[in-house]
A and B are shown apart, each in its own frame.
Chain A
């Protein structure tokens, strides 16, 4: 009996000990990590050190995209002591006119109403899937202080950085903007902000240290820090003074010629450096959410158009380089309209000159003469040269949204396709492709890769070296073509607007706009592409105006605007006039 009692007590003790061992095993092995984390959270405090997004600077060192101090207003729901409705009612008037996070970033013309803002904040606060949530990013200091004055438990703020564009809309389509990704973190979109997002955004740091019961740091306690790594600063080839000249002149040009939109791009043909790039209408990247989304894309690199007569520069260069024609070769079909595959090719003014030379064909922008030239060259060779000029391929410019349209397979080209391509119809190019290709003529036949960024800096400076794309035509051909283009400017339709005392090589273009399978009779894209000084080019520039109303012709709209910008560039770059 006694033995039985002893066994029961002993068994009970063994069982109790087993329970203790099992519990200890659970705490120390199975739940160890979780309990350690809970313990650390009770005596360790940690906070994120935001990384500063790298600045984007123009060539003079001015930060055209910088950072300004701003604040993140957040809510921690377990600590809230008032209802979501009550808090939203107090916060919405202070956080006006900003949207609460979670609201759509889609384009809009007006800020949301007070009632909308209240509703959005309330919806955020009533979420039960998260405990901590950002209510508003990029709040101003006065907003943060006003929120603090309310002394709402569970509502707090922390210092952060917001993107700032000190020159407002300048170079907006080139820069892009900074929005948020799906997790609410800053992310660059379009232009440089999009293309260089990884380099610019950096990496946030974390600080963890031990704290006492009152929350103050313990000096000899545990301290861990992962330093924040700020984003790289980019310095551009873009010259702020030239960009300003271009934007001012382009705005004047749009008013003067009543054009729907306009674009200007200027490169240094020797290096491919992008000196200026502007398109109007534009938007304010700091307030991108209130602008039309259609303005975000940079049309110079993302929109293709039929180049019209500016394309003759490439076709004639190809024909000269392939020895299909010479500058003095006479056109024997230029005495009247030309029938090609059931279509009639005419000159732009319906005037015809017998036996004119290739030099005169370019001077008078003669479509029939260009058909003669293209026939001498042939489809295969023309296609080969257009590929060499980079038509149908991306230029490789360091901007996010570059697009292109492929050239059609030459096997499918009919006689009329060769004829229309010779004067820039039925082919599509971007403004950047066009200016880069003409830049090759300016650079003795060597085509460069356009580059917006000159250097990146993160402690040490990394310079982006100029990149040669390829040799397109021989030096001799480039010289001959330059002479023909100088002659075209001196004696062509746009000679009345040319600055005196400067040798300018250029070509006008007037292209009809294809609409639903036919060309619109009224609407044109007027353009002028050229470089100066012709003997030692410092810049190559494309001016393009969409649907000018005062005149449809490039010689009466885009060309005078080109010359007007060039006049100011000559002064700014210190290029003397031979007329003085």
Chain B
């Protein structure tokens, strides 16, 4: 009897397989979205829209350069 029940329980197995496939596909789509949003072109566009601009002047600091002075 158990065998009969198990033998005809294909519906449950199929629905599990479909669910697994859907989750895998969703996972793949989300990963694809992360990659798309973290591409340099996407990051540059987003940075520009937030008002960032490219650095033009580069200042190197060393021990001799004073970056702040204490008030006397």
A residues near B (Cβ < 8 Å) are: 62-63, 66-69, 159, 164, 166-168, 170, 211-212, 216-221, 240, 244, 571, 576-577, 580
CB closest residue in chain B, given A67? B28
B40 interface residue per 8 A CB criterion:
yes
When A68-B32, A219-B9, A220-B3 are in contact, do A167 and B62 touch as well, CB less than 8 Å? Answer: no
When A216-B14, A217-B14, A571-B58 are in contact, do A167 and B32 touch as well, CB less than 8 Å? Answer: no
- In the complex, A166 Cα to B42 Cα: how many Å? 10
Chain A residues with CB under 8 Å of B32's CB are 66, 68-69, 164
User: A66-B32, A69-B25, A164-B35 known; 20 other A-B pairs, CB under 8 Å?
Assistant: A62-B35, A62-B39, A66-B35, A68-B28, A68-B32, A159-B21, A159-B25, A166-B35, A166-B36, A166-B39, A167-B40, A170-B40, A212-B8, A216-B10, A216-B14, A217-B14, A218-B10, A240-B40, A577-B60, A580-B60
Within 8 A of A (CB), among B3-28: 3, 6-11, 13-14, 21, 25, 28
Task: Mark contacts of B39-71 with chain A using CB atoms, 8 A cut-off: 1 yes-contact digit, 0 otherwise.
Answer: 111000000000000000011111001000000
CB closest residue in chain B, given A243? B40
- In the complex, A556 Cα to B48 Cα: how many Å? 33
- In the complex, A341 Cα to B17 Cα: how many Å? 81
| Contact B7–A218 (Cβ < 8 Å) | yes
Chain A residues with CB under 8 Å of B8's CB are 212, 218
Sample (11) of A-B pairs whose CB atoms are under 8 Å apart: A67-B28, A69-B28, A69-B32, A164-B32, A164-B35, A168-B39, A211-B10, A212-B8, A220-B6, A576-B62, A577-B60
| Contact A212–B10 (Cβ < 8 Å) | yes
Contact of A219 among B6, B21, B39, B61 (CB under 8 A): B6
**Nearest-Cβ distance from residue B6 to partner chain A, whole angstroms:** 5
When A68-B28, A167-B41, A168-B41 are in contact, do A220 and B7 touch as well, CB less than 8 Å? Answer: yes
Chain A residues with CB under 8 Å of B29's CB are 69
9 closest A-B pairs by CB: A216-B10, A580-B60, A217-B10, A219-B6, A166-B35, A166-B39, A220-B6, A219-B9, A69-B28
**Nearest-Cβ distance from residue B63 to partner chain A, whole angstroms:** 11
- In the complex, A211 Cα to B60 Cα: how many Å? 72
Chain A residues with CB under 8 Å of B13's CB are 216-217, 219
Chain A residues with CB under 8 Å of B25's CB are 69, 159
- In the complex, A67 Cα to B3 Cα: how many Å? 42
CB closest residue in chain B, given A164? B32
Chain B residues with CB under 8 Å of A211's CB are 10
**Nearest-Cβ distance from residue A235 to partner chain B, whole angstroms:** 15
CB closest residue in chain B, given A63? B35
- In the complex, A68 Cα to B31 Cα: how many Å? 9
| Contact B60–A62 (Cβ < 8 Å) | no
- In the complex, A459 Cα to B58 Cα: how many Å? 43
- In the complex, A69 Cα to B38 Cα: how many Å? 19
Contact of B39 among A67, A167, A216, A220 (CB under 8 A): A167
Chain A residues with CB under 8 Å of B6's CB are 219-220
CB closest residue in chain B, given A218? B7
**Nearest-Cβ distance from residue A64 to partner chain B, whole angstroms:** 9
- In the complex, A62 Cα to B39 Cα: how many Å? 8
| Contact B35–A576 (Cβ < 8 Å) | no
Chain B residues with CB under 8 Å of A216's CB are 10-11, 13-14
Chain B residues with CB under 8 Å of A220's CB are 3, 6-7
- In the complex, A62 Cα to B40 Cα: how many Å? 10
CB closest residue in chain B, given A574? B60
Chain B residues with CB under 8 Å of A170's CB are 40
| Contact B38–A221 (Cβ < 8 Å) | no
Contact of A62 among B28, B38, B41, B59 (CB under 8 A): B38
Chain A residues with CB under 8 Å of B60's CB are 576-577, 580
- In the complex, A580 Cα to B14 Cα: how many Å? 69
| Contact B21–A221 (Cβ < 8 Å) | no
- In the complex, A344 Cα to B65 Cα: how many Å? 56
Chain A residues with CB under 8 Å of B21's CB are 159
Chain B residues with CB under 8 Å of A576's CB are 60, 62
Chain B residues with CB under 8 Å of A212's CB are 7-8, 10
- In the complex, A68 Cα to B28 Cα: how many Å? 7
- In the complex, A168 Cα to B42 Cα: how many Å? 11
Chain B residues with CB under 8 Å of A168's CB are 39, 41
- In the complex, A77 Cα to B40 Cα: how many Å? 46
Chain B residues with CB under 8 Å of A67's CB are 28
Chain B residues with CB under 8 Å of A164's CB are 32, 35
- In the complex, A495 Cα to B62 Cα: how many Å? 26
- In the complex, A210 Cα to B41 Cα: how many Å? 50
CB closest residue in chain A, given B40? A244
Chain A residues with CB under 8 Å of B10's CB are 211-212, 216-219
- In the complex, A168 Cα to B40 Cα: how many Å? 10
- In the complex, A62 Cα to B42 Cα: how many Å? 14
**Nearest-Cβ distance from residue A95 to partner chain B, whole angstroms:** 21
Chain B residues with CB under 8 Å of A571's CB are 58
**Nearest-Cβ distance from residue B41 to partner chain A, whole angstroms:** 7
- In the complex, A167 Cα to B32 Cα: how many Å? 12
- In the complex, A211 Cα to B14 Cα: how many Å? 11
**Nearest-Cβ distance from residue A563 to partner chain B, whole angstroms:** 14
| Contact B7–A219 (Cβ < 8 Å) | yes
**Nearest-Cβ distance from residue A92 to partner chain B, whole angstroms:** 27
**Nearest-Cβ distance from residue A49 to partner chain B, whole angstroms:** 11
**Nearest-Cβ distance from residue A263 to partner chain B, whole angstroms:** 21
- In the complex, A480 Cα to B27 Cα: how many Å? 58
- In the complex, A375 Cα to B58 Cα: how many Å? 47
- In the complex, A67 Cα to B62 Cα: how many Å? 46
**Nearest-Cβ distance from residue A18 to partner chain B, whole angstroms:** 41
| Contact B14–A221 (Cβ < 8 Å) | no
- In the complex, A68 Cα to B32 Cα: how many Å? 7
- In the complex, A285 Cα to B36 Cα: how many Å? 16
**Nearest-Cβ distance from residue A251 to partner chain B, whole angstroms:** 13
- In the complex, A221 Cα to B4 Cα: how many Å? 11
- In the complex, A366 Cα to B60 Cα: how many Å? 37
- In the complex, A571 Cα to B56 Cα: how many Å? 12
